[in-house]
Chains A and B, each alone.
Chain A
């Protein structure tokens, strides 16, 4: 398959640097928030921030945003598998 040049013009050096700045900012937020006592919500906040960071890395750095739909299907199937494994395990653990 031939490389489609148009796909590569969607990201420039600037986009990558902005994403990097966002990732660093999110890191400082998650470190700062961890210092405050949020109790049980702390883990949820930390995982939410990690999720946002992952979405940035996967979509922009790993180009998923610009890839063919089949790559997104792959990603959804594997993500779904992990979620199912976690849910089923915890259904067992919580009810012991």
Chain B
């Protein structure tokens, strides 16, 4: 191999292992699944213990708001997937538009969450409130789990907004391109996981009747 060939070969292999990068991302996602899994386990045990009180407490939640947020998050997952596909098809403009839409929907989700939580707070239902502590044990646990699980999920949305904004800058500056987009793919995997967790949170908290 000549000197120049080696240089070319080296250039093509410099710090690039897309499959390895994605594998690492998936391993991280499993730690996330275990983190939320523990909370879902606590939820399952307490729901088994207090089925009637969980039903009663769940009536306080706004199903319309929950459904709207579900649709918003599902749509943001679509635009995320479209952003990556557009880049693969070398359509940078459409990729940027879809990534912008994803960030826009993420903000929409958080704005809804803000109004939803504000309404709960104004009714005196928040962790440690007098109103809540006067309720039955099962209801207190329900709202405790509601705040910690949707709160941790909301934190993931905020982190997602930061990550996706970085990706947007990378994309605009051509640091992410049609033949080097594993960063965008991994951010997408994270975003879809956040959507997946919501797919379970939604029926478990908003749809008990």
Residues on A facing B (Cβ under 8 Å): 1, 3, 8, 11-13, 16-17, 19-20, 23-24, 27, 30-31, 34-35, 37, 42, 46-47, 49-50, 53-54, 57-58, 60-62, 67-68, 70-71, 74-75, 78, 81-82, 85-86, 89-90, 93-94
Q: Does B27 contact A (CB under 8 A)?
A: yes
Residues of B within 8 A of A46 (CB): 203-204, 207
Q: Considering the chains assembled together, what is the distance between the CA atoms of A91 and B97 in angstroms?
A: 50
Residues of B within 8 A of A60 (CB): 81
Given A46-B207, A90-B44, 5 additional A-B pairs, CB 8 A = A11-B85, A16-B85, A46-B203, A61-B81, A89-B44
Closest B residue to A94 by CB, please name it.
Answer: B48
**Other-chain residue from A27, A68, A70, A75 in contact with B74 (beta carbon distance below 8 A):** A27
Chain A residues touching B, majority SS: helix
Question: Chain B: how many interface residues by the 8 Å CB criterion?
Answer: 44
Separation in Å of the A80 CB from the closest CB of chain B? 11
Q: Mark B57-85, 1 if CB is under 8 A from A, else 0.
A: 00000010001001100110110111001
Separation in Å of the B132 CB from the closest CB of chain A? 24
Q: Considering the chains assembled together, what is the distance between the CA atoms of A38 and B209 in angstroms?
A: 9
Q: Does B30 contact A (CB under 8 A)?
A: yes
Are A24's CB and B74's CB within 8 A?
yes
Closest A residue to B42 by CB, please name it.
Answer: A89
Residues on B facing A (Cβ under 8 Å): 17-19, 22-23, 26-27, 30, 33-34, 37, 41, 44-45, 48-49, 63, 67, 70-71, 74-75, 77-78, 80-82, 85, 88, 179, 188-189, 192-193, 195-196, 199-200, 202-204, 207-209
